[in-house]
Amino acid sequence: MKIYDYMGKKNICGANLRKQRVRKKLSQSVLAARMQLEGVNIERDSISRIERGERFVADYELLVMAKVLDVAVELLIKTQPK
């Protein structure tokens, strides 16, 4: 499967994910652990790669990220105006 880039990134949620994770005072390891408790097999290094835009994010991962961070999915995929 070929994964396409959007503006040089593999996802659009990375920066917003980091912002919300930091706002909630969660480490990448804690976020990964909480996602694992929700049934998503993800590690800390994957969270790091997502935040840098280097890793594709599956739709189910996005849903669980939003649930764990207690935010709307739309907040995670909101793009910044230019």
Tokens of 68: 């764990």
Question: Is 20 strand, coil or helix?
Answer: helix
Give CA 38 to chain center in angstroms: 14
Residue with the bigger pLDDT between 1 and 15: it is 15
pLDDT range class, residue 75, cuts 50, 70, 90 = very high
67 and 11 Cβ atoms separated by less than 8 Å: no
* Secondary structure element (H or E) that encloses residue 7, with its range: none
Question: What pLDDT was estimated at residue 82?
Answer: 54
- The pTM assigned to this predicted structure is 0.91
pLDDT range class, residue 71, cuts 50, 70, 90 = very high
Say how many C-beta atoms besides its own lie within 10 A of residue 74's C-beta: 9
* Region for 26 from its dihedrals, namely left if φ exceeds 0, alpha if ψ lies in -120 to 50, beta otherwise: beta
